[in-house]
Structure 1
Amino acid sequence: MRRFGTLSFGHHGPLGGGRTLTAQDNLLQAIDLAVAMDELGVDVAGVRVHHFARQHAAPMPILSAMAARTSRIHVGTGVIDMRYENPLYLAEEAAALDLIANGRLMLGISRGSPETVVRGYEHFGYRGDDERGADLAARNLDLFLRAIEGEGIAERDPHSPFGGGSGMQRIEPHSPSLRGNVWWGAGTRDTAVRTGERGMHLMSSTLLTEERGLAFGDLQAEQLAAYRDAWRDAGHAGTPQTSVSRSIFPITTQEDALLFGGAAGRDQVGVIDGLRSTFGRTYAAEPDRLIEQLRADRAVMECDTLLLTIPSQLGVEPNLRIVESFARHVAPALGWHAS
């Protein structure tokens, strides 16, 4: 594990006791947390993207604000649902964000996870033939990658008063580093292999749509290995990178024990999208015990980047304490060094 960071779902709404966390509160707090983590030397500040829900939905404004106020930390998504995206507009936005961030982008994209509505992407104006929209996401991905690679997309108008010319025009702005900052979220071994074949980095899902009686970390480690083999066999230049996500709460104070002491659990098996799936466990323990548990989690030890899923609705200070405790008491024992 070379890098670690956070992944925020961006939940907002009623907190109980007459208190409400507004969408504005949540966005501003996420920016403040990223600034504080940048000062700690944490590597990534990521946000989940969900539509039709009281969560983060439009990542580019918040990530641009994070990037503009920080200097080292990578900003990213986990993940943007490609069924909902205009691929050319996303190419423009992502390039602009990558330029603002000076290449500090970890752009996670995917077919997306189940939403709170039925085929919500159709209400955004996009339609596919596959029941889950996989064909739509695949088409959008193809065009998005072509655009960010600088391929000419539209024929120039020789009669245009704004330059004209002949040939094909690429999407602008163009960021040379963007293609190397694209990660694909994968929930299956087959998807991980395709990700390696296409030369994207791998963002392994918080659940895997398979169940073979193995620990979640072992299933995920097999996925990471299959991905790296596919990257190598495809002959891509550069180094393939992998990330996994975990809910991890170091308990160092009595308040930590009250908040998170009952959160620890085991891997779970359930059904999502009609598929029998394995869900990762939550870790909550004193640092020495956490280190022991995480060293036994093969995927954590074999990934390049570990993202902590944080309870963002608690606010900046509790989440910063989680991150700082992990950075100080746990991460160095797993191989991490502050940037």
Structure 2
Amino acid sequence: MKAFGFLSFGHYAPFRGSQTQSAKDMILQTIDLAVGADELGVNGAYVRVHHFAPQQASPIPLLTAMAARTQRIEVGTGVIDMRYENPLYLAEEAAALDIIAANRIALGISRGSPEPAVRGYEAFGYTGSADPRGADMAREKFALFLRAIDGEGVADGDPHQFPHGTRLPVEPRSPGLRERIWWGSGTRDTAEWAGKLGLNLMSSTLLTEDAGVPFHELQRQQIDRYRAAYVAAGHAGAPRVSVSRSIFPIVSSRDAMYFGSRPDGDQVGVIDGFRSTFGKTYAGEPDELIEELLKDSAVAAADTVMLTIPNQLGVEYNLHVLEAFAEHVAPALGWKPNTDGPVEGYPARA
């Protein structure tokens, strides 16, 4: 494991005991958490994206603020729901963010997860999908997004200003941005597709398939098929792979109160019409966690682990979770504190 970071779902609600009562609380606390994580030497700060729910929904302004307030940490998403996006505008935003962050970004993009609204992307003005889940629309938009960030001409130039047949690219553009784009994959087949495109792979604590094997083994199959497809397609270099895990070192009585009685084991259920496999929560004494995580074949295969955090418990407690993992668990998995910048090939701010 070269890197680890936190993944915030960005929940907020005026519930008793919640430290995140409003959208303002959530947004400002996420920035503060990124700053604190950067000071700890944590490698990444990532946010989930959900629409029509009391959660983080528009990530680019938040990531921009996080990048501007930090020096080394990578900022990103897990994942942007492409069904809700204008691909050309997203390309412009992504380039601007990449420039501000000095290339310290990891934009996870995908079809997205089930939303509270039925075909909510249609309320955003995006219609015409033949797929009840909008997957066809997400793929088409993503293809245009990739063309745009690669600098391809995507609009006809005014013949009064440009030679006939001129095609104009979007601006601004950030060189190498495609190397910092990830596909959030929920199956082995979509992981292969991402490998063929030469993208990085982002895999969650949920896979929308069930092969009758433990979650980490199914996810390892996904990673192996992704890497094989990447090589077979002729792409050079070593693509990055991240996995998400719920990991809570129990080093205090408060940790034990929150997570000491968590159920153990994977879960299988139905989500979005698919029989799906959910990864388990790791909670225990540091030595116990190290032993369990060393047996996790997907963690072993990934270079980055995203820790899903209970953001409504507040900045101070979540920094405690990150610090406990960094001090007591991560070094045994091969991690060293981030003092220079994101993972190899991702420069720090000047």
TM-score range, shorter chain: over 0.9
Partner of 1:137: 138
Partners of 2:311 and 2:70 in 1: how far apart?
Answer: 19
Offset, 1:158: 3.8
Structure 2 SS opposite 1:138 = helix
**TM-score, normalised relative to structure 2:** 0.94
Which amino acid is 1:254 matched to?
A: S
Secondary structure, counterpart of 2:146 in structure 1: helix
Is it true that 1:330 corresponds to 2:318 in the alignment? no
- Partner Cα separation in structure 2 for residue 177 and residue 206 of structure 1: 29
Contact 2:77–2:109, Cα closer than 8 Å, also in 1: yes
Deviation at 1:210, TM superposition (A): 1.7
1:1-339 aligned at under 5 Å gives the runs 1-16=1-16, 21-127=21-127, 128-160=129-161, 164=162, 167-339=166-338
Deviations 1:212-232 (A, max 9, x none): 221100000010000000000
Q: How well do the aligned residues superpose, as a CA RMSD in angstroms? A: 1.3
Residues 201-250 of structure 1: CA deviation (Å, up to 9, x unaligned): 00013211222221100000010000000000000122111110011100
CA distance in 2, matches of 1:226, 1:20: 40
Work out the CA distance in 1 between the residues paired with 2:19 and 2:143.
44
Per-residue CA distance 1:32-88 (angstroms, 9 max, x = gap): 010011111111100000000000000001100000011110000000000000000
Distance 1:62 1:319 in 2: 18
- CA contact 1:264–1:283 (8 Å) conserved in 2: no
Q: 1:187 to 1:20 in 2, by over 3 A?
A: closer
**C-alpha distance in 1, partners of 2:57/2:150?**
26
Runs of at least 5 residues in structure 1 that lack an aligned partner in the other structure: none
Residue 244 of structure 1 aligns with an amino acid whose one-letter code is V
Equivalent pair of 2:19/2:314 in contact (CA under 8 Å) = no
**Per-residue deviation at 1:264?**
4.4
2:345 corresponding residue in structure 1: none
Q: 1:17 Cα deviation (Å)? A: 6.0
Inter-partner Cα distance in structure 2 for 1:43 and 1:51: 27
| Aligned-partner SS, 1:16 | coil
1: distance between equivalents of 2:215 and 2:297? Answer: 9
Unaligned 5+ runs, structure 2: 339-350
Mark the CA change 1:18 to 1:50 in structure 2 (over 3 Å): closer, same or farther. closer
- Percentage of identical aligned residues: 63
Is the 1:98–1:177 Cα contact (8 Å) retained in structure 2? Answer: no
TM-score, structure 1 as length reference: 0.97
When residues 17 and 251 of structure 1 are mapped into structure 2, their CA distance, relative to the original with a 3 A threshold, is closer
> Contact 2:250/2:286 (CA < 8 Å) preserved in 1?
yes
Contact 2:67-2:100 within 8 A present in 1 as well:
yes
Alpha-carbon distance change, 20 to 196 in structure 1, aligned in 2, over 3 angstroms: closer
Find the counterpart in structure 1 of residue 344 from structure 2. Answer: none
Could you list the per-position Cα deviations for residues 105-145 of structure 1 after superposition, in whole angstroms to 9, with x for gaps in the alignment? Answer: 00000011100111000000112111110110011011000
Give the Cα–Cα distance (whole angstroms) in 2 for the partners of residues 99 and 332 of structure 1.
31
**Per-residue CA distance 1:147-174 (angstroms, 9 max, x = gap):** 00000111222424xxx55522111000
Whole-Å separation in 2 of the counterparts to 1:158 and 1:138 = 32
Q: How many aligned positions are there? A: 336
- Which is bigger in relative contact order (C-alpha 8 A, separation at least 6)? 2
- Measured in 1, the distance between the counterparts of 2:169 and 2:324 equals 46
Cα distance between partner residues in 1 of 2:18 and 2:281: 29
Q: CA deviation at 1:255?
A: 1.2
Q: Secondary structure at the match of 2:329?
A: helix
